[in-house]
Amino acid sequence: MGSRPVSDDDVYLNEAVQIAAKILVVGHFAVGKTTFIGTMSEIPPLRTEERMTQAGAHVDDLMGTRGKTTTTVAMDFGRLTLSERLVLYLFGTPGQERFVQVWEDMTRGALGALILVDPERIKESFPVIDLVEHYGLPYAISVNHFDGTPARPDAELREALDLLPETPIVTCDARDEKSSANALMALVRYLQERTR
Ligand SMILES: Nc1nc2c(ncn2[C@@H]2O[C@H](COP(=O)(O)OP(=O)(O)OP(=O)(O)O)[C@@H](O)[C@H]2O)c(=O)[nH]1
Ligand SMILES: [Mg+2]
């Protein structure tokens, strides 16, 4: 087919094009992934919550998660329109090792990951960070403080998590919309800078 001259209509169509970006929200057990997507999604989030039983207590360490009665068994999904041109599709992906197969599918086509970290459970974040790096996804760290935990300086966390100097690190309360949006924007800005 021959090419035709660009018309005003084409320009209008180009401006109307929306970019859909797939973003993963990941982190260890009970760090706030489902809460984060629920806070951020403009549509009722898709959840795959199941009740936890005492029989599973040896599988998922329930320390520090008193009161938690359900866990995500497959994924969370939500959508957030950032602008006329940019829509984020948020996929919450469980961090436990038994979900590694899920990561194969989840990481396909993803632009980046927001890794939620509880500073009191740093070690539990290592396998998750390893997985994100294994799949070559750029990421930002969202530090979710749980009630009563002391704040730790960013520099200390950066060292403990062995982050690159350019990796964004932001404090976030996944229950709070403004705070969660701030964390997500840190990732989006980072992704945009990398593609410039
Ligand atoms: N203080 C505080 N509590 C939070 C935060 N995010 C989540 N929570 C609470 O932590 C508990 C666990 O949150 P979830 O969203 O279920 O965590 P999850 O990562 O989806 O858990 P799994 O799917 O089981 O791995 C809930 O009771 C939340 O209300 C946060 O940023 N700060
Ligand atoms: Mg969950």
> Which atom of ligand 1 lies nearest, measured to the CA of 67?
27
* Percent of the chain with pLDDT strictly greater than 70: 85
- Contact call for residues 125 and 27 (beta carbons, < 8 A): yes
Q: Which residue has the tokens 């062995």?
A: 162
- In this structure, the residues whose C-beta lies within 6 A of any atom of ligand 1 are 27, 29-35, 68, 71-72, 94, 144, 146-147, 173-175
Q: 102-157, pLDDT tens digit by residue?
A: 899 999 999 999 999 999 999 999 999 999 999 999 999 999 988 877 888 999 99
Phi, psi of 156 (to 5 degrees): -65, -45
> Which atom of ligand 1 lies nearest, measured to the CA of 172?
31
Domains contained in the chain, CATH given: 11-195 (3.40.50.300)
What separation in Å is there between the alpha carbon of 170 and the centre of ligand 1?
17
The pTM assigned to this predicted structure is 0.89
Alpha-helical runs (H) found in the chain:
8-16, 33-40, 100-107, 122-134, 154-160, 177-195
C-alpha torsion angle, residues 96, 98, 101, 103 (rounded to 10): 0
Give the mutation target among 34, 48, 90, 171 for probing the ligand 1 site: most ligand atoms within 8 A of CB: 34
Q: What's the confidence (pLDDT) of residue 123?
A: 95
Cα atoms in the 13 Å half-sphere on the side-chain side of 25 = 33
